[in-house]
Amino acid sequence: MKLNFLFVIFLALLLTSIAFGNPATPTSCGHVNNDLVLTSNIYAQGTCFIINKSDITLNGNGNLIYGNTTGYGVYANGFNITIKNLLINNFDSAIGTEFVNGLIILNNTITTNSTSKYAIFIGNGSSVASLTAIKNVNVTSNNIFIYGIFGIRNTYGLNVSLLYNNITNNNYLLLEPLTFSGKSGEISYNNLTINVASPRPGIRLEVGASFNKINYNNILFRGTGTLVVNFAPPGGIVLVGNNINDNNFTGNFINISLNMRPYYGFYFYGIEHPPQRNYFFNNKIDGLDIFSYRANAVFYNLTLINKSAEATFSNITIYQTDYLETKGNISTYNESFYVNSTRLPQFNVSTEISFPNYNYVSLDDFNIYRVEGTSYTLDSSTLCLEPQCVKINSSPVKFKVNSFSRYIISNATYIPPTLPPYVEKPITTMLKVLFKQGNDIIFEVNQNYSDYPLNLSGVNISKQSASATKAYIIINGLELQNNTKTLYLNRLNTNLNYVCIKDAEIKNILEISKECNSDNEYLVPCNGNNFKGYTCSKTDNYYIITGLKHSAVMEYDNTIKDNFLNFIKWFFK
């Protein structure tokens, strides 16, 4: 009886040793059986920390654990485990788990090597087992530098959240920086940078990924170098596999414009049970390319950006039966936007098109033309008027096209005007030409057209910003033979009574001296009297300055000088 009792004690101790192993310390690897805070860097042979208990916090305290390319940095299974503030480098996988409920991975910096499998691995590869064994995982605010095969991989976990992580890929052989097969999880506010030319996905949803939120991620492709041939789908957000359903994608920005190789902003590929009921709200792609085969997706306010043009499509529905590729079917050229509505009927919807690099004073200063086919000339174009085309804004230029299919319209182009704007009466001999911004007059010129025409092609106007406290105007490129112009300067400070005129061609208002006493500069009182050929008068809203050949004028605070002169006059009375 005594021997049997001793045998039971021995067996219990043996099992305890196997379960919990050598305990970890603040300076050494091992089994973490209690909360642990590291106090030094640790160099490991194989797996460093193993957590098989619940309610454990492993705090790296900013220290490094460095492996020998094998094992895990941290391997954790249990309930309510936190892994934070670690630097993890040179393991086969940095952090891994198979059975966990309540795991937090917070504020770690992970660097994988060229042979590493994972930065963070969540799951055990079985869909049924993982959905019951992997729950409530939060991976937040980690910096991950990938030189291995995978970044973060979640296989079938339930309620897994990946938030505010920075992930950088530097390996041509990488498969995916962020792969997700779970349900009811979230991938939001992450920054992904892919620095290689291999066609790799940014965020990839795989088999069974459903009811997830993928919101406000920034995905940047800027790879250069030799393209490595492989079968990974090249896209910012990729849906490939069966039963990828009911996911919500909002506010993601995908930049594929800097990459040297072909990429897609979105890439969808259905197999036996294609992706269904996936919804995309207010996403942007810096690039024009989307691919879909046997997949269903609905886009609201999808914005495509290409160099100097942007287009926001109001509502696009891609059906399971569609084969869709926008490459070559949506393009921009010479301030025009082209959509092949025959090959892309899904994109034949109400669209807002803008050209951010082009600015005009008013909506009257530009026109919209529609062109049939793929020609980018105006030879066969027709003016596109309401309701087909509606001007929205002039600075920068923005307009709305209600569809691309009318008259097989393929693109919409705006063209600068050929006549001076704001002509108040038919051209006879003497004509007053007003330049306005909205209802505000900027300047006016009395022009004698019987002597010579008024050339407006090189006119450039600069004004103060909306938040400025002093007004100014600079007008360049307007050649006046025998005339002068009258300028209307906003009165932002009604206590000021002077303007500083620099009657010379300048590019920046900072070229006017502080004291208004350099070459061609004149400090003019706004009292309605002639001063050296210039006159400044005031209304409630404007200073009105006449006699200008060139035009650079700004409000000027002369209060100190005025007070001094008034004192001198009073003193010597």
For residue 202, what pLDDT band results from cuts at 50, 70 and 90? Answer: confident
Question: How far from chain centre, in Å, is Cα 354?
Answer: 16
C-alpha to C-alpha distance for 74 and 46, rounded to whole angstroms: 10
The average pLDDT across 12-23 equals 51
Residue 82: pLDDT over 90: yes
Q: Do 103 and 201 sit in the same domain of this protein?
A: yes
Does 199 lie in the same domain as 331?
yes
Q: Rg of the Cα trace of the chain? A: 34
Is the same domain home to 345 and 199?
A: yes
CA distance readout (Å), 177 to 73, 167, 197: 19, 7, 14
Q: Is the pLDDT of residue 428 over 80?
A: no
Q: Check residue 406 and give its pLDDT.
A: 39
The total number of residues shown for the chain amounts to 573
The whole-number average pLDDT for the span 454-465 is: 72
Percentage with pLDDT > 90 across the chain: 26
Task: Note the pLDDT tens digit of each residue in 243-283.
Answer: 899 999 999 998 876 654 567 888 888 878 888 999 999 99
Does residue 76 sit in the same domain as residue 205? yes
Choose the most confident range, by mean pLDDT, from 105-119, 226-240, 475-489.
105-119
User: Does residue 389 fall inside a structural domain?
Assistant: no
Q: What is the pLDDT of residue 454?
A: 61
| Domain C-terminal end among 288, 317, 349 | 349
- Is residue 301, in this structure, part of any structural domain at all? yes
Q: Are residues 345 and 437 located together in one domain of the fold?
A: no
pLDDT at 164: 92
CATH classification of the domain holding 143: 2.160.20
Residue 404 lies in a domain: no
What confidence score (pLDDT) does residue 417 get? 36
Residue from 128, 216, 211 nearest 203 by CA = 216
Residue 565 falls within a domain, yes or no?
no
The answer to whether residue 80 scores a pLDDT higher than 70 is yes
Residues 109 and 249 in one domain: yes
pLDDT value of residue 486: 85
Domain assignment present for 402: no
- Looking at the structure of the chain, the number of domains it has is 2
Tell me: the pLDDT tens digits for 391-426? Answer: 999 888 898 988 775 333 233 333 333 333 333 333
Q: With a cut of 60, say whether residue 108 has pLDDT above it.
A: yes
Tell me which range, 17-31, 52-66, 345-359, is most confidently predicted by mean pLDDT.
52-66
DSSP string, 530-567: EETTEEEEE-SSEEEEEEESSEEEEEE--HHHHHHHHH
- Check if the beta carbon of residue 418 is closer than 8 Å to that of residue 365: no
Q: Is 513 within a domain?
A: yes
Range of the structural domain that residue 529 is part of: 430-560
Question: Is pLDDT at 64 greater than 90 in this prediction?
Answer: yes
Q: Is 505 helix (H, G, I), strand (E, B) or coil?
A: coil
| Per-residue three-class SS string for 192-240 | EEEEECCCCCCEEECCCCECCEEECCEEEEEEECCCCCCCCCCEEEEEE
**Domain assignment of residue 50, yes or no:** yes
Whether residue 566 has pLDDT greater than 90: no
299 and 157, same structural domain? Answer: yes
Considering the domain architecture, whether residues 46 and 195 belong to the same structural domain is answered as: yes
For the chain, give the percent of residues with pLDDT over 70: 76
SS3 (DSSP) at 509? helix
The mean per-residue pLDDT over the stretch 425-452 comes to 61
Residue 140 burial by Cβ neighbours in a 10 Å radius (0-12, 13-18, 19+): middle
Residue 20: is its pLDDT beyond 60?
Answer: no
Instruction: Answer yes or no: do 184 and 282 share one domain.
Output: yes
Most confident by average pLDDT, 152-166, 222-236, 437-451: 152-166
* Residue 118 Cα to chain centre, angstroms: 28
Specify the pLDDT at position 468.
Answer: 79
- Looking at 80-89, 108-117, 232-241, 515-524, which range is the least confident one? 232-241
Minimal CA–CA distance to 24: which of 4, 1, 7, 40?
A: 40
Same domain for 435 and 293:
no
Residue 315 clears pLDDT 60, i.e. is over it: yes
The more confident residue out of 543 and 377 is: 543
Domain termination residue (choose one: 325, 349, 373): 349
Q: Which of 349, 377, 394 marks a domain boundary?
A: 349
Same domain, 440 and 542: yes
